Amino acid sequence: MSSYKEILGKKIGEGMHRSVYQHKDYDDIVIKVMKDNSSRPDHNLIEYNNWRNAPKDIRNYLIEVISVTRDGKYLMQRKGGDIIDPPKDIPKIIKYRFPDSFLPGNNDWRAFGGDSRLCDYGFSKL
Ligand SMILES: Nc1ncnc2c1ncn2[C@@H]1O[C@H](COP(=O)(O)OP(=O)(O)O)[C@@H](O)[C@H]1O
Ligand SMILES: [Mg+2]
Residue-range definition of the domain harbouring residue 96:
3-118
Q: Ligand 1 centre from 30 Cα, in Å? A: 9
Return the pLDDT at 47. 98
- Determine the residue of 119, 121, 123, 124 to mutate for testing ligand 1's pocket, defined as the one with the most ligand atoms within 8 A of the Cβ atom: 119
Q: Ligand 2 centre from 66 Cα, in Å? A: 18
- The number of folded domains in the chain is 1
Q: Ligand 2 centre from 6 Cα, in Å? A: 24
Percent of the chain with pLDDT over 90: 88
- Burial tier of 120 (Cβ tally within 10 Å: 0-12, 13-18, 19+): buried
Q: Ligand 2 centre from 83 Cα, in Å? A: 12
Task: Report if residue 124 sits inside a domain.
Answer: no
Q: Which residues, in sequence order, are CB contacts of 60 under 8 Å at separation 6+?
A: 115, 117
From the CA of 17, give the closest atom in ligand 1. 22
CATH of the domain at 31: 3.30.200.20
Task: Report if residue 15 sits inside a domain.
Answer: yes
- Strand segments, DSSP code E, in the chain are 8-14, 18-23, 29-34, 65-68, 74-78, 109-112, 115-118
Task: Report if residue 102 sits inside a domain.
Answer: yes
Query: Which residue has the least CA distance to atom 23 on ligand 1?
Result: 15
Least confident piece of the model among 14-18, 63-67, 79-83, 85-89: 85-89
Q: Which residues, in sequence order, are CB contacts of 28 under 8 Å at separation 6+?
A: 78, 79
Task: Report if residue 31 sits inside a domain.
Answer: yes
What is the pTM assigned to this prediction? 0.95
Query: Which residue has the least CA distance to atom 8 on ligand 1?
Result: 119
Q: How far apart are CA 22 and CA 30, in angstroms?
A: 5
Mind listing the pLDDT tens digit for each residue in 21-54? 999 999 999 999 999 999 999 999 999 999 999 9
User: Is the sign of the CA dihedral 84, 90, 96, 97 positive or negative?
Assistant: negative
Task: Report if residue 93 sits inside a domain.
Answer: yes
